[in-house]
Amino acid sequence: MTVSRSSQQPVYLAVVDYLANLIKQGALQPGDPLTSERALCEQFGISRTSVRKALAILSGMGLVEVTPRSGARVAQASSQAAIASLSQMIARNRYQAVHLYEVRRLIEVQAARLAAMRREEADVIKLREQHHIIQNSLQNPSVLHQADMRLHVGIAESTKNPFFGELMNVLIAAYMEIFNVVWSPWGSPQEEQALFSRYFQQHGLIVEAIAEQDPEAAAAYMTQHIDDSRKQYERMLALRSQAV
């Protein structure tokens, strides 16, 4: 089986479209398992890296659930499916991610503010756990990125407003796209570690402001974090354009 490929669309997005359509059309039902990564590679004629990117995006869209030992299966129906098309649109326009940062600023700054006002002790424990995972993963970008995203989702869920959590899960699909640019090697190992360490410190300030129930400090630290991330993304785009 093959998927339609175009010169302007990465192959893993073609796989996303193909599997998403099967799910939307009912050919794959909630709870149905997908075949293994190896089988998907053979089925679509692509690399395991491309398969994992496709599954990560489908997971962020809420269409697929991926567990380490059980593999991937179609997610149970949720509100995520209703806005899956938004995730696909963001993924296709990943090179205009500056627009995404504007959306992040609107959503995540307010989420940090509300989380500080409404969080429970259990939320603080979870956020600190994710921050600890980030600290222990500064040398492992793959684990670091996943922990980073779970921390941001955890902040949104701490607002006790289900729409924030839903929106963050949708935006994660877009993050998976732009992380390839923002976090790709761009300087010496020392420079990259300095960047990761700065983001780790920013996350810590956000988490502790939420723990201390200081909404304005949480909002201010989140604003700084998102703005720094946007500037790094713009630097990467400038470096890539110069290399062309």
Stretch(es) of the chain classified as CATH 1.10.10.10: 11-81
Stretch(es) of the chain classified as CATH 1.20.120.530: 95-243
Pick the CATH number of 95-243 from 2.160.10.10, 3.50.50.60, 1.20.120.530, 3.30.2310.20: 1.20.120.530
* 72 in Cβ contact with 65 (< 8 Å): yes
> What are φ and ψ of residue 74, in 5° steps?
-65, 130
Q: How far is CA 70 from CA 33, 39, 62, 73, in A?
A: 9, 15, 17, 8
Determine the pLDDT at residue 175: 67
Residue with tokens 């991926």: 66
Determine the pLDDT at residue 126: 94
Determine the pLDDT at residue 215: 98
Residue-level pLDDT, tens digit, the chain, 244 residues: 555 555 456 788 888 888 888 888 888 888 888 888 888 888 888 888 888 888 888 887 778 888 777 788 888 765 455 455 655 666 666 666 678 888 889 999 999 999 999 999 999 999 999 999 988 887 777 677 778 888 999 999 999 998 888 788 777 766 666 665 555 555 667 777 788 889 999 999 999 999 999 999 999 999 999 999 888 888 877 776 665 5
Dihedral in degrees, nearest 10, Cα atoms 25, 26, 29, 33: -60
Q: What pTM was estimated for this model as a whole?
A: 0.65
Assign a CATH topology to domain 11-81.
Answer: Arc Repressor Mutant, subunit A (1.10.10)
| Neighbouring residues of 19: CB distance < 8 A, sequence distance ≥ 6 | 28, 34, 54, 58, 63, 64
